[in-house]
Structure formats: structure tokens, C-alpha cells
Amino acid sequence: MAPGLGSLAAGKKVGYVQLALYLTGFALTMIFGLQFFTWSMKNWTELHNDDDPNPVESLRKIWAAAQWVVVGIGCFAVSWVWAMQTSRSILKETRTVNSTGTPPVLAVEGYPGWQKNGAVITRTYVFPDFPAALRFVNAVAEHAEQVQHHPDIDIRWNKVTLALTTHDAGGLTDKDYALALVCDRLYAGG
């Protein structure tokens, strides 16, 4: 599987960049690798037969192609390492969700204050005043944007109700429960 595909499957837009970097590395390696092989075979033969009128130019061509092959391999390496780090962070999020011992998509017992209504979980948070409620909403929005999973938010002066569901999956997923845990931590001040 190519780097970036797993990130895209997990809803991470960074997967597009990872995939582009991987495909760039593949193209550079293939194009210049073939060119390097062709030039080196032709010029190596000429260099050893003393038939090459300009050996320095032949070596320069071989070296230039070799440099592009190294750049292509570097793109490959960066895309794989980046994709592995993204995969590790996705797995870490999943482990955090599942560390409660509750199967996330089956129940909300491990999530105090949350209620399940069909394919949606909801919770209402109460704050001392409107500015405190807005600070909480802004913190939730910042995290939601980072993970590309956005709740439905209802603000009523000092009360904020969040409704979580994964619309493109047609119901609740681990993403909803992971976001619920983060919202609870933000509410608790952590």
C-alpha cells in the first residue's frame, strides 16, 4: 500500500501530500533510474574502450542522473516515514479511545454525561457564563479542525450541547468517541 492511503482512509488530509510525495519519488526514480542505467551502460563501455571523445561530459551525465535517482529515493523515504508517523498517531488515538475497556461503537457507559440517541451521542456542558462557554467551543473547534472531525454545536448562553456522529460513515465510529473524550478533557480544564 502506498504512503498516504491509510491517512486518507482515516480522514487525514495530509494523506494527499504523502501520496504526492510518494508518486513524485516513484516518477523520479523510474525516469532517472532508467536514464542512469542507459547512460552508464553506454558511456561506461565507451570510457573503457577509449572511444569516448569527451569522457568528462559522459561522467557528468551519469552523475546528474544518479543525483535525481537519489532525490527520488529520498522522496520515497520521507513519504514512508511520514506515513508511519501518521499511522502511529492514528493508532494512539484508537488506543486512547479503547483504553476505557468499553467497545466504543457499542455503548456510552464509559462516557459519563453522554447520551446515545440513535446514531448520535450528545452531551450538554454548563459554564459560569457566556465567555467561558465560548472559550470551550473555540477549544473544541480547534481540536476538531486538527483531526478533521467536526461536532454539531448548540450554544445557549452558558450551556453548550455537542452532538457527535460520523456523517460519511452513516453513524457512530471511534472518531466520535475519541472526540467525546477530548471534549470532556477540555471541559475539565486539561
Q: What is the pLDDT of residue 64?
A: 73
Q: What is the pLDDT of residue 172?
A: 86
More confident residue, 110 or 189: 189
Q: How confident is the model at residue 104 (pLDDT cuts 50, 70, 90)?
A: very low
pLDDT in tens, 134-177: 999 999 999 999 999 999 999 999 999 999 998 888 888 888 88
Q: What is the pLDDT of residue 177?
A: 87
Domain ranges of the chain: 5-98, 115-188
pLDDT in tens, 37-95: 776 666 666 656 655 566 677 677 777 777 777 777 777 778 777 777 777 776 665 55
Q: What is the pLDDT of residue 98?
A: 47
**What does the DSSP assignment read for the chain?**
--TTHHHHHTT-THHHHHHHHHHHHHHHHHHHHHHHHHHHHHHHHHHHHT--S-HHHHHHHHHHHHHHHHHHHHHHHHHHHHHHHHHHHHHHHHHHHHTTSS-TTT--TTSTT-EEETTEEEEEEE-SSHHHHHHHHHHHHHHHHHHT---EEEEETTEEEEEE-BGGGTB--HHHHHHHHHHHHHHHT-
Q: In this structure, which CATH number among 3.40.50.620, 3.30.1360.20, 3.90.1170.50, 3.90.1570.10 belongs to the domain 115-188?
A: 3.30.1360.20
